[in-house]
Chains A and B, each alone.
Chain A
Amino acid sequence: MERHLPVLIPLTLLTTAVVIPLAGGMSKRLAHPLAMVGTFLSLVFAIWGLARVLLEGPMRYHLGGWIPPIGIELVLDHLSSMMTVIILGVALPVLIHARKSIEAEHPEQVVPFFGICLLLLLGLTGIVLTGDLFNLYVFLEISSLAGYALVAVGDRQAPVAAFRYLILGTAGATFYLLGVGLVFMMTGSLNMADLVGLLPHVQDSPPVIVGFVLMVIGIGLKMALFPLHVWLPDAYTHASSAGSSLLAPLGTKVAAYVLIRLALFVFSREYAREELIVLDVIVWLAFGGIIAGSILAVAQTEMKRMLAYSSVAQIGYIALGIGLGSTLGLIGAMLHIMNHAVMKGALFLVAGNLRLKIGHSDLDRFDYSIQQQMPWSTAGFSVAALSMVGIPPLAGFFSKWYLVLASVEQNAWSAVAVIALGSLISAVYFFRVLERVYLRPPLAMGTATVSQTASNEAPLSMLIPVIALSVGLIVLGLLNAVIIDAAIAPLIPARWEKVP
């Protein structure tokens, strides 16, 4: 059984995704428990896989028994096993939370919604696990198609947002595919491990250079790297609360993983940095993303939209770590992928709680009564918001700390300034919310005043995930040294600088 771990993780999700619509045809109530079972089993396999990789080293699984480079292989190494645990570990609380939220917002779509959620997770884990460039494209499109459908289940404008996302997302995927085609033309291989050996011979030929750049642009679109982020704010705002809380923490992070895998592992970082200036360009785009995303977030009056723009900024931090291309930078990027998945998950879940109980998430209408009615949700929000700003000992502080260290190490003082500025602006837009929720006297507006002091907390199934993710932030923050030593240090390529 252990031999089959790499394939069991996506296969469990795929099976559940097929079973949910069939069982949902008999009884709508079966959909959610099935989704929970599938995700939970998959998470167990992922944790088992991570433990095995950490103890005994990477696993390779040859699909259908075909030996690579002819066959497709799934690779469970330090990078991918950590990513699968992050994906499924955040997806499980989000799916627990999703039941009440989706039943309230879209009662008709409960069964397809959970089916699509599982398909999305299948695509995301598949992207992470595959060791084949073309297979990665297929999983990328599975996850993207599921993502378009998730965005479309939303308010009145959701289909328009989903269509825009679809057009840009497909353009990104097509660029990636074209890049794969050019690289395949020159090397005759699609297997990532095989390419590591083949690429140095042909990497200076124009087709490979163009192919690499096209792949990075395509992934940049999927990752919402500034200025390719235009699809993101609308998509996250108009999707259902449950849909956006699944998409926002996971979708863009997995694209960031692809960028790490491609630019730093398949192609070498020396190639991406010195021969082409791709890594420098990524750093500059990261600066743009951090500053523009943060400023636009301040300008928003709706909470989900604010969080969406803040996502653009956070993607900037991850891209900055990748672009610096050093051991410390990669540690910062991996930590931030993990921390941001948990933080954004918690924040979007609270937005879902507010929409369910208060009926809106307009920042202008927030006041003290929200804290009175929903003390636990607001507490969860505060922890996640403080972590986003980067207050120690919460997790968000440590990933930014490593990014700052990486910038100082390379004398990139502009990066230090941008990280500091981005954190300050994020303090502005998060403390604005916290100030309103904790200190602003109740606005005398119709029904809001009637039940001011009465407790109106979200149901337990929606509260526990929020609390779990918030506590997770504290734990991840306190254990960051352990995580770096055990899980992140082994994934740094051997030729790079030593982990300090």
Chain B
Amino acid sequence: MIEHVQGLYAYWFITVLLLLGLYGMLLKRNLVKKLIAMTILQSSVVLFFVSSGTKWGGTVPIVDRVLGTDDPTKYISPLPHTLMLTAIVVGVATVGVAFALLISIYSRYKTLNEDILLDRMK
């Protein structure tokens, strides 16, 4: 059990992060906190991809004259990282749109608290 936790501690950390993000998105009443939780959720998935791409004994995926190109296992896979670059860009765009919406909500209702908001929307 302890070995399991030690060997896969990165995934345990990511699971905790993911649940933290979900908890915040569902239960926090402040819209900015919801947005922060959403970013945490996205980050956990980014970390998941990146950590799934690493391995012991591998180096950065740039051709090294010493290592050569005969044995590709000496390099880690670059694909998860490139995928996550795209996912981070998508995440930034989402946060941008979300902040624009929050500004618009605040200018109309003068609050970002969901309970007060529901009250004022009636």
Contact residues of A with B, CB < 8 Å? 134, 137-138, 141, 145, 148-149, 152, 156-157, 159-160, 162-163, 166-167, 170-171, 174, 177-178, 181, 184-185
Contact = CB atoms under 8 A, between A and B. Distances in A.
A170 B38 contact: yes
5 contacts: A160-B109, A167-B34, A170-B94, A171-B41, A174-B41
B6 interface: no
Contacts, number: 67
10 tightest Cβ-Cβ pairs between the two chains A and B: A159-B104, A141-B90, A163-B101, A159-B105, A159-B101, A185-B52, A178-B45, A181-B49, A177-B45, A174-B41
Interface of B: 18, 22, 25, 31, 34-35, 38, 41-42, 45, 48-49, 52, 80, 83, 86-87, 90, 93-94, 97-98, 100-102, 104-105, 108-109, 117, 121
A237 to B, nearest CB: 12
A152 B87 contact: no
A69 to B, nearest CB: 11
Nearest to B35: A167
A162 to B, nearest CB: 5
B70 to A, nearest CB: 19
Contacts of A134: 83, 86
B82 to A, nearest CB: 10
A145 B97 contact: yes
Given A160-B109, A167-B34, A170-B42, 16 more contacts: A134-B83, A141-B90, A141-B93, A141-B94, A148-B97, A149-B97, A152-B100, A152-B104, A157-B121, A162-B101, A163-B101, A167-B35, A170-B41, A174-B41, A177-B45, A181-B80
Task: State the main secondary structure of chain B at its contact with A.
Answer: helix
B45 A174 contact: yes
Nearest to B50: A181
Contacts of B31: 163
B108 A163 contact: no
A163 B105 contact: yes
B122 to A, nearest CB: 10
A499 to B, nearest CB: 39
A152 B98 CA distance: 10
Nearest to B93: A145
Contact of A138 (B34, B90, B101): B90
Nearest to A189: B79
A76 to B, nearest CB: 23
A355 B101 CA distance: 25
